[in-house]
């Protein structure tokens, strides 16, 4: 972790329902350290909107960290995009090629889902507001694995000659994560927008947005300074805010 070593409190668990829940239920003391929970067996991993996140003992890296930000900072909106970018940068440093980002919260390799991110905000409760950022990375999926609703899945083993040691991978992702969080807190999403767009899996491609009772199709025109998706339709540009919607190829 380089300069960051010593500022981390890493809790390693054999099993838990959800690493996000561990941090949300027992909000760690605001002691200046960065709190991380990493687990071998996650029994009730969550995605967005009640979806499940699957992981395998020995075959996944599953962890969450609690990030505190200044009260009133306009940071939460783009947070899952920043977290995705951090995962991509850490994996790029390890030599993985073909990494892409899918708005708002997925990491893909050549169109196949490699990692998922779930950001959940902890309301201030009179303290510094915080977000729990959960990250799951597929390292080696058991043969024949099928994931509901997700035909295009991949693992790191398909893209590197030797799987990275999980401790090193965790350290690499945390290092990128907190470097990008610093930038984000200081300069907002505009400072990271270009880097995100460079890896946008759907840049200039037709997409379908579903999930809030409506369906919209258009051309993916990137993201704006808040991290909202820009959809080009016959009537112009529409901003789609992160929330109850999903993006699909059209």
The CB-nearest residue to ligand ATP is 47
Q: How far apart are alpha carbons 11 and 35 in whole angstroms?
A: 8
Stretch that binds ligand ATP, among 21-29, 42-50, 179-187, 217-225 (CB under 6 A): 42-50
Active site residue 199: no
Smallest gap from Cβ 112 to ligand ATP, in A, equals 8
Stretch that binds ligand ATP, among 65-73, 146-154, 161-169, 229-237 (CB under 6 A): 146-154
Residues 150-169 that bind ligand ATP (CB under 6 A): 150, 153
Active site residue 49: no
- Which of 41, 166, 232, 248 does the annotation list as catalytic? 248
Q: Give the residue, chosen from 18, 20, 138, 200, that forms a contact with ligand ATP under the rule CB under 6 A.
A: 138
> If binding is defined by CB under 6 A, does position 188 make contact with ligand ATP?
no
Short-list 83, 90, 86, CA closest to 104: 83
Q: Give the residue, chosen from 22, 36, 47, 131, that forms a contact with ligand ATP under the rule CB under 6 A.
A: 47
Q: Are strands 215-223 and 206-210 parallel, antiparallel or unpaired?
A: antiparallel
Which residue, 34 or 106, is less far from ligand ATP as judged by CB? Answer: 106
| CA-to-CA separations, 176 to 50, 119, 180, in angstroms, rounded | 28, 16, 6
Which residue, 90 or 245, is less far from ligand ATP as judged by CB? Answer: 245
Concatenate the DSSP letters of all residues of 5-73 into one string: TTSEEEEEEEEES-HHHHHHHT----SSSEEEEEEEEESS-B-GGG-B----TTTEEEEEEEEE--TT-
Active site residue 102: no
- Which of 68, 89, 102, 113 does the annotation list as catalytic? 113
* Contact between 104 and 207 (Cβ < 8 Å): no
Which residue, 73 or 205, is less far from ligand ATP as judged by CB? Answer: 205
Q: How far apart are alpha carbons 93 and 103 in whole angstroms?
A: 22
* Helix/strand/coil percent split, the chain, to 5: 25, 35, 40
- The binding site for ligand ATP (CB under 6 A) comprises 47-49, 51-55, 105-106, 113, 116, 136, 138, 147-150, 153, 246
Active site residues: 48, 113, 248
């Amino acid at each position: 972790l380089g300069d960051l070593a010593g500022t981390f409190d890493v809790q390693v668990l054999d099993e838990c329902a959800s690493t996000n829940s561990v941090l949300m239920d027992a909000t760690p003391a605001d002691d200046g350290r960065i709190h991380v929970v990493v687990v071998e067996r996650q029994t009730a991993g969550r995605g967005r909107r009640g979806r499940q996140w699957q992981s395998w003992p020995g075959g996944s890296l599953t962890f969450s960290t609690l990030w505190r930000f200044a009260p009133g900072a306009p940071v939460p909106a783009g947070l899952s995009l920043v977290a995705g970018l951090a995962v991509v940068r850490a994996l790029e440093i390890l030599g993985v090629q073909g990494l892409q980002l899918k708005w708002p919260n997925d990491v893909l390799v050549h169109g196949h889902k490699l990692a998922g991110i779930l950001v959940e905000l902890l309301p201030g409760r009179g303290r510094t507001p915080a977000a729990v950022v959960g990250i799951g990375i597929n390292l080696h999926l058991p043969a024949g694995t099928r994931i509901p609703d997700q035909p295009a899945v991949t693992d790191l083993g398909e893209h590197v000659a030797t799987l990275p040691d999980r401790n090193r991978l965790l350290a690499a992702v945390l290092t990128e994560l907190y470097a990008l969080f610093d930038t984000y807190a200081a300069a907002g999403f505009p400072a990271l927008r270009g880097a995100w767009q460079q890896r946008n899996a759907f840049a200039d491609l037709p997409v379908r947005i579903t999930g809030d009772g409506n369906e919209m199709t258009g051309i993916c025109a990137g993201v704006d300074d808040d991290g909202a998706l820009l959809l080009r339709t016959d009537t112009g540009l529409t901003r789609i805010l992160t929330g109850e919607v999903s993006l699909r190829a059209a």
